[in-house]
Structure 1
Amino acid sequence: MTDRNDLRLRPLPDEVTLLLAELAAPPRLVAHLRLVHDVAVRLADGVAAYCPGLAFDRAAVLFGAATHDIGKTVHRAELSAPGSAHEPAGRGLLLAAGVPPELARFAAGHAQWGPDSAVEDLLVSLADKAWKNRRVPDLEDLLVTAPARAGGGERWEVFLALDELLTAIGDGAEERLAYQALFPTA
C-alpha cells in the first residue's frame, strides 16, 4: 500500500489500511481508495475554508471516501466493469468489522444522492467523481445549496468557488488515472 510514482497522496486512515489488508484488497482498489480519499481531503478542506459556518463531519467524509468501494473486495469484477453489487456488500463488510452504521452507509450510498442527502454524503459522492475530473452538475448543485444556506454567500458565489476548487482538482486527473492504472486488479 505504498506509492509507485511521485504522486503525493495522503495515506489512508490506519484502521482502513488494516481492514483492506485483512480483506486482501486488490492493489487497484487500494490505489483507487487512496485517490478518492486524497480528493475528499481537498474537497472537505476547500468547502470548510470557503464556508466555516457549514457544519459537517470531516472525519466521516474521509472515512467514507477511504472505504466507499470496499465491497469490491468481494465483487472484484466491478473493479473493471460496471456494477452495484459492491455497494450493499461493502456496507455489510464494514458492519461485520464493527464500523458504526453511520460510517458504513457510505459504502452503500456513494452512488445515490438527492436533495435529502447530508453534506458528508455529497462530498464522498463528489470525491468519487472529481478524482477523474468527472463533473456532475446535479450533484454539484446539491452541494452548492448547503454552504449558501449556511451563510457562505449567494448561490452563484458558492458555485464559482466550488467550480474553481473542482477545476483545480480536475487538473490532476490524468496523473491520478495513470497512477491507478499502475496497479493490478487481482
Structure 2
Amino acid sequence: MTPALPPLPPAVVDLLDALDAPPRLRAHLALVHEVAVTIADHCAATGLDLDREALLYGAATHDIGKTVHPEELSGPGSAHEPAGHALLRERGVPERLARFARSHASWGEPGVTVEELLVSLADKAWKNSRVRDLEDRVVERLATATGRAPWEVFLDLDDLLTRIGDDAPRRLAVQAAYPVR
C-alpha cells in the first residue's frame, strides 16, 4: 500500500488529474509543497511579507512540465521547465503563478524574486540537498527584506533546513513508493 501524500491545493489536484500526471510526479510535487509550507510559515513568523499563494502554487507545480517530458521523471533534463511554463499559461494560469515552472532551476539569474528563491530552496531541501550559493542568496534577501542581521537569518535558516533535512528519508521513501508511470 502506498503512503498517503500531503495535500495539494485543489486547483493543482484538478490540473494534475486533467493532465493524467504520473504518480511519482504527484508525489514529488506534494512533498516539495509540504516543505514549501514549512518554509513559508517560518518566513511569516520572521515578519517577511511574501506572496504566499504564489510560493505555494509554484512549489506545487514547479515540475509540471514533466507531464510533457516524462523521461525527465527518472533522468536528467531541463526541457520540462519551459514546457511547464507554457502548459500553465495555455491553461490560463497567470504569469505570477506560472513562472515557477520555468524559474525553479535558474535561481542564480538576475531578477529572481524571493518567492522563486524559496521554491528553489524547497525543491532542494525536501531531499536534504544543501546548496550554499542558493542559501546565501536566500539569507541575503531575507535579511534585506526583514531588516534582520544576516548572521541571525543564517542561523534561523540553517536550523530550519536541518529540521527539514532530518525528515528527508521519510519523504524520499514516500516518493519512491509511487511508480514513475
TM-score by length of 1: 0.93
Gaps of 5+ in 1: none
CA separation in 2, counterparts of 1:6 and 1:85? Answer: 29
Equivalent residues in 2 for 1:1-186 (5 A)? 4-5=2-3, 9=6, 11-50=7-46, 52=47, 54-114=48-108, 116-186=111-181
CA separation in 1, counterparts of 2:14 and 2:29? Answer: 13
Q: 1:171 to 1:6 in 2, by over 3 A?
A: farther
Give the counterpart letter for 1:125 in structure 2.
S
The answer as to whether partners of 1:95 and 1:101 remain within 8 angstroms in 2 is yes
Root-mean-square deviation over aligned CA pairs: 1.4
Structure 1 residue 48: Cα displacement: 1.6
CA separation in 2, counterparts of 1:71 and 1:118? Answer: 21
Deviations 1:148-170 (A, max 9, x none): 11334211110000000000000
Structure 1 residue 116: Cα displacement: 3.1
CA separation in 1, counterparts of 2:120 and 2:13? Answer: 21
CA separation in 1, counterparts of 2:49 and 2:90? Answer: 29
Give the counterpart letter for 1:141 in structure 2.
D
Give the counterpart letter for 2:41 in structure 1.
D
Q: Give secondary structure in 1 for the equivalent of 2:127.
A: coil
Give the counterpart letter for 1:172 in structure 2.
D
Q: Give secondary structure in 2 for the equivalent of 1:24.
A: coil
**Quick one: percent identity of the two aligned structures?**
63
The runs of at least 4 aligned residues of structure 1 exceeding 4 Å deviation read: none
Structure 1 residue 87: Cα displacement: 0.4
Gaps of 5+ in 2: none
CA separation in 2, counterparts of 1:92 and 1:133? Answer: 29
TM-score by length of 2: 0.95
Give the counterpart letter for 1:182 in structure 2.
A
Q: Give secondary structure in 1 for the equivalent of 2:15.
A: helix
Give the counterpart letter for 2:44 in structure 1.
A
